[in-house]
Amino acid sequence: MALIEPLQRRATFLREVVDELELPNVTVLQSRAEDVSGSFDVVTARAVARLDKLAALSLPLVRPGGVFLALKGRSASEEVTMWTKALQRLGATDIVVASYGDESMPTTVVEVSR
């Protein structure tokens, strides 16, 4: 598992947690997503940007047959409607919006298969 974090303070924190929990299969990369080479089965991202921008950064890291999971807010369905064509141009084959957890404050995830 690779954790990608551009900010030094957060990357240092993640390394400390990985060391403390003795997680030998976890690597912390202090980098921006667009500067990382390689591909992964699953790529996740918090709602740090519009869905089209998140996908442009994240989908290139997803190997064919993999999935991109974007943790978004309540407007996730509207974003999917707005950006479906852009996602498809980036290689999306299936897009699903699902909510998990407490109904009063759900976690909404956009699952984009490649």
pLDDT confidence of residue 38: 87
Q: Specify the pTM.
A: 0.85
Place of tokens 């950064």: 57
Angstrom distance (rounded) from CA 8 to CA 62: 24
For the chain, give the mean pLDDT.
Answer: 93
Predicted confidence band of residue 103 (pLDDT cuts 50, 70, 90): confident
Query: According to the model, what pLDDT value does residue 64 have?
Result: 94
Enumerate long-range contacts of 14-21, CB under 8 Å, 24 or more apart: none
Q: What are phi and psi of 79, to 5 degrees?
A: -65, -40
CATH 3.40.50.150 fits 39-113, yes or no: yes
Q: Flag whether pLDDT at 48 surpasses 80.
A: no
Q: Can you give the length of the chain in residues?
A: 114
Q: Which phi and psi (to 5°) does residue 38 adopt?
A: 110, 175
Would you list the domain boundaries of the chain?
A: 1-31, 39-113
The two structure tokens encoding residue 45: 């991202």
- How is residue 46 written in tokens? 């918090």
Of 30, 36, 53, which is closest to residue 45 (Cα–Cα)? 53
Q: What is the mean pLDDT of residues 26-49?
A: 90
Antiparallel, parallel or unpaired: β 40-45 and 27-29: unpaired
